[in-house]
Structure 1
Amino acid sequence: MTGEINNLAALIPANPPLRAAMTAELLRLLQPQQALLAPGETAKAEVLTLRQVGQDFQMLLKLTLDNGKQTNVQASSTLPLAQGSQLTVSQSSSANLTISVQQAIASNVATLTRIDTRELPVGSLLQGKVLTSQALPQNAGQLAQFRSLVTLLGGPQAGATLAIDSPRPLPVGSLLSARVQSDQSLSFVPLSGRQEQLAISQQLSTQQSRQASLQGLLNTLQQLPRDNSQPNELRATVDKLLASLPDVRQLSDPKGLAQALNNSGVFLEAKLLAGLPAALAPDLKAQVVRLVAQLLPGLPGNATFNPGAAASTLAQVMPGMVRNALGMLGQVSPRPHPGGFPLPSRLLQSQDGEGDLEHLLRLAAATISRLQSHQLASLEQTGTTADGNLQTTWQLEIPLRTGQDFMPLQMKLQREETPEQQSDPERERRDPLEMLWRIELSFDLHPLGPLQVQAQISQGSLSSQLWAELPSTAQLIESQLGHLRERLLARGLNVGELQCHHGTPPQGPRTHLEQRWVDEQA
């Protein structure tokens, strides 16, 4: 379905008016057949297929004679008869079949004129294929109306035909995705958005298979020999990249944290679109792209970052997002479950016969794929929730300098706005903490081991759960939760649940913690 079609209403009377042409020669045989039916003989006919050709409708009919013999014939009509319609026909001439008005009216039982909300409750998602599209008679001063027959794909009423009236014609053969609003009303979702979600999911899977942990690249860069064996431009890029990495002290300051988030690489493309090349120097992804540009054969080293050169380099190391169609007819995939958080650790080993610069180039490309994986995961988890709220996600990774080592800090922030908050004219001036915020952190801090944190803030109230993989660390954190609660209360927050667990958070679209959060807001 084209993106212009957003809201359509299925407002069909119980007995749609039939054209006067139904009284004679309704069906024209595409291949005239003599004595198909004897004079006065009738046969049962079932519409097997229906397709629109211009203003006419071609059908494949299965005729069953009184003696039980069956035969298939092709016919055309100016009126669409839904697939599955049962008719009684007689042959008026070698080129025509005739059906009675009563039989034609009865055939419309096969076409749904309303939705059974017992089988398809309000909010259910429907998929279908447009079989026909026909302009309805228009009176002076009235808006044009178009009637379409749509075959439902999947669900409890799969194979049924739905009659839809709309102010715009539906392209014949197109796929529709719609949500049930009532027994006679549908809200259609543009398929372009579903195709983008599918493309994001496919590209995310590809990038995650190529990615590697940031420590591999950073440790290799730190061990590069400081001699004349490396070009000056490359050495300068490496030094600038390592010097730009934040430490724990910087993240303890609000302005330092904001700067680290801004330079994490997740906003690189937005900066380029805004025309801000001068502000890209500390951006992690921009610096790794520059490093790749200086390593790739045939690309001259350039200490000054050039957005055009960056775009060329990105095209070589990261293939563009392929916007494929939905594949086989009728298989409209539901929105895929977002990629797992946190991204797993993965280190690339040097291959046999591979030089130092070749290995460094492979590490840099894998780092870009990892940063790209976070960006794609952010896109995949951004959109409208089942409750109608707008959820925006930012997923990123910041490498922290801890002495001579590096500790990657993975972070996911989600903001959720209700429809009322989205339409509030004072939205920009309101306190951001009035919205629902979810924060997830994942890091491996020596000697505490791997840690994960989930927190939710809404209306000034905070709840949090922590997970430690080492039993001793879980006991240590549990003993300090009272002190943490006091410090949070001193900051003016209302503190709800604070717990620490041994192990890792449960995985899936809805964890137990998220369910409790929803209950708290009910």
Structure 2
Amino acid sequence: MFIGQIVNATVIKKHSPDSFILQIGNQQIEAKTDQSRPLNIGDQLKLVVEKQDNPVTLRVLQQNQTKVIHEAKQQLLRESMPKQAGMEKLTSVLAQVSKNVKDVIKTIPAPIEQQFKKLIEQLPVKNNLNNESGLKTAIKNSGIFLEAKLLTEVKTKPDSLLKLTNLPAQKASSSTSGQSTAQAHQLTQNLEIAKDLKTNLLQLSDVINKYKQNIKNQENGFIKQVQLTSPESTRSNAAKVQNSNKLVEQALKAETEMLSKHIESSIARIEVNQSKAIVTHDNQAPLWSIEMPVKDKQDIDLLKLNIHADRDSKSDDEQQLRWATDLKITFENIGTISAKLSVIDKEVNATLWSENEILNDLINSNLSLLNNQIEKCGLSTGKIVCVQETLSEQDIPHTSNNLINITI
């Protein structure tokens, strides 16, 4: 380093209130600071070299503190927590659309049904989750990384995003709103975000909202038309036509409202999970929560996955990596499996819970396959057991520190 040189640094570790590890390029250096200017893990610093003596003196020119991130996280939680819900109901609707259940399909308006089917096309296939690459891709497209992928797209494909954001605002007619949605879908197909769950849920929400607005506009137009018509017989005939379609319209509107709530609550759940991944204080363990429907031929199953630092596990070497995964997957035909897997220095220990005897016997008879798959990944197996027990959401062990001490 030379005097006057400006460098960018990130605070990656905190030893004490005045001692930190900074990442500067490919180097990590230990730095001390005045306690009157506190630093936090994750702070982005712009520094200038003032002295080359031993030790080198650096002055902070700019500090992007995690406080801003923390406030943004709080705001996200305030908006999303009241609306969020699990994706069980959404998964059920997807399964029925996938199987073309007539009683369900006939109550879903055609443009919404079409968008549902496009969403189903983009869902991960269960068989692909058996390998590392397929699981990574599914997690990447689970929705929690959408904004990060958008930033990448801005850098690599700015023209496509510009066209997407500049689509003209559509009004009134279903043909124009459908055209706008089709254009947006066509543009996103060439982007990495095309298969993202949150992308497809947002597109589906957009289609539903436009459909609701079109229905409202049509109802207002019909009322005005009847009011302007003078003959009594015409008004009577119009009323009969309106009454004959009323039940169908009410069913469609009710179904649309219900679908809208399922979509909005699922988007909010993804946003809550995104907030969990944001580390804003020193003693907070990273946590990635993923919830996503997966395809199994025409069946749609629901996968829940939590990956977090396992602070409860014991290790002789405190520097060993200790991670845990909480897994829950509901199969439409055979029931629900929950599991907790922990990894300590490349050794995997796992407890699985099955909700019925048949499923429990099936798992126990195939534990050797699980052991083989783990060993193929370069890991060793410790204790792996399966017990028959139905767990509630509260019973499944997972880290939830990210939602503690949030002021709402």
TM-score, with length taken from structure 2: 0.52
Residue type matched to 1:373 in 2?
Answer: R
Maintained 8 Å contact 2:144/2:274? no
1:195–1:378 CA distance, 2 compared to 1 (3 A): same
Which of the pair is proportionally richer in helix? 2
Distance 1:286 1:217, change over 3 A: farther
Q: How many angstroms apart in 2 are the aligned matches of 1:390 and 1:512? A: 14
Say which SS state the counterpart of residue 206 (structure 1) adopts: coil
Please state how far the C-alpha of 1:362 moved relative to its aligned partner.
Answer: 3.4
Aligned to 1:373: 269
More RCO (CA 8 Å, sep 6+): 2
Q: Which amino acid aligns with 2:82?
A: T
SS of residue matched to 1:265: coil
Q: Which residue of structure 2 aligns with residue 24 of structure 1? A: none
Name the residue aligned to 2:203: 290
Deviation, 1:256, is 2.5
Deviation at 1:279, TM superposition (A): 2.2
How far is the alpha carbon of 1:451 from its aligned partner?
A: 0.7
Aligned 1:406-421 pairs, distance under 5 A? 406-415=300-309
Taking structure 1 as reference, are residues 241 and 447 closer, same or farther at Cα in structure 2, changes over 3 Å only? closer
Q: Find the counterpart in structure 1 of residue 142 from structure 2.
A: 264
TM-aligned CA distance change 1:279 to 1:209, over 3 Å: closer
- Does residue 1:478 correspond to 2:372, yes or no? no
Q: Partner of 1:213 in structure 2? A: 89
TM-score of the aligned structures, taking structure 1 as reference length: 0.42
Structure 2 counterpart of 1:369, one-letter code = S
1:296 and 1:361 in contact (8 A); partners too: no
User: Which residue of 281, 295, 298 corresponds with 1:401?
Assistant: 295
2:61 matched residue in structure 1? none
Question: 1:438 corresponds to which residue?
Answer: 324
Specify the SS of the correspondent of 1:370.
Answer: helix
Equivalence for 1:251: 129
Amino acid at match of 1:380: K
Change (3 A) 1:236 1:399: same
Q: Identify if the C-alpha distance between structure 1 residues 500 and 414 changes in structure 2 by more than 3 Å, giving closer, same or farther.
A: same
Kept in 2: contact 1:478–1:500 (CA 8 A): yes
Give the drift of 1:376.
1.0
Question: Do 2:95 and 2:298's aligned partners in 1 also have CA atoms closer than 8 Å?
Answer: no
Report matched runs for 1:2-401 at 5 Å.
199=75, 201-208=77-84, 213-219=89-95, 221-222=97-98, 223=100, 237-274=115-152, 275=154, 277=161, 278-297=191-210, 354-356=250-252, 359-360=255-256, 362-380=258-276, 382-383=278-279, 391-401=285-295
CA distance 1:238–1:448, shift in 2 (3 Å):
closer
Partners of 1:266 and 1:198 lie apart in 2 by 17
Aligned residues: 266
Following TM superposition, by how much is the alpha carbon of 1:234 offset from its aligned partner in structure 2, in angstroms?
Answer: 5.5
Contact 2:341 2:349 in 1 (8 A): yes
What one-letter code is carried by the residue in structure 2 that aligns with 1:383? V
- Counterpart amino acid of 1:375? E
* 1:479 Cα offset (Å): 3.9
Query: Are 1:390 and 1:416, in contact at CA under 8 Å, matched by a contact in 2?
Result: no
SS in 1 for 2:286: strand
- Cα RMSD after superposing both structures: 4.6
Which structure features the higher share of strand residues?
1
**Residue identity opposite 1:240 in structure 2:** K
Equivalent residues of 1:381, 1:391 under 8 A apart: no
Q: Distance in 2 between matches of 1:510 and 1:294?
A: 36
Q: What's the CA shift for 1:389?
A: 5.2
8 Å Cα contact 2:85-2:266 kept in structure 1:
no
Name the CA shift for 1:202/1:400 in 2 (closer, same or farther; >3 Å).
same
Superposition deviation, residue 297 in structure 1: 3.8
For residues 502 and 292 of structure 1, do their structure 2 counterparts lie closer, same or farther at Cα, with a shift above 3 Å needed?
same
Deviation at 1:467? 0.6
Asked if structure 2 preserves the Cα contact closer than 8 Å seen for 1:382 and 1:392, the reply is yes
Q: SS where residue 285 of structure 2 aligns?
A: strand
Q: Would the alpha carbon gap of residues 498 and 512 (structure 1) be closer, same or farther in structure 2, given more than 3 Å must change? A: farther
Kept in 2, the 8 Å contact 1:288–1:364? The answer is no
Write the letter of the residue equivalent to 2:91: Q
Give 1:452's match in structure 2, choosing from 321, 326, 338.
338
CA–CA separation in structure 2 for the residues paired with 1:512 and 1:368: 25
| Preserved CA contact (<8 Å) 1:212 1:370 | no
Q: Which runs of 5+ in 1 are unaligned?
A: 1-6, 11-144, 146-164, 169-188, 302-350, 418-432, 514-522
- Alpha carbons 1:293, 1:300 under 8 Å: kept: no
Partner of 1:140: none
Matches of 1:505 and 1:492 in 2, distance apart?
A: 31
Q: Which whole-Å CA distance do the structure 2 matches of 1:294 and 1:412 have between them?
A: 31
1:410 aligns to what SS in structure 2?
A: strand
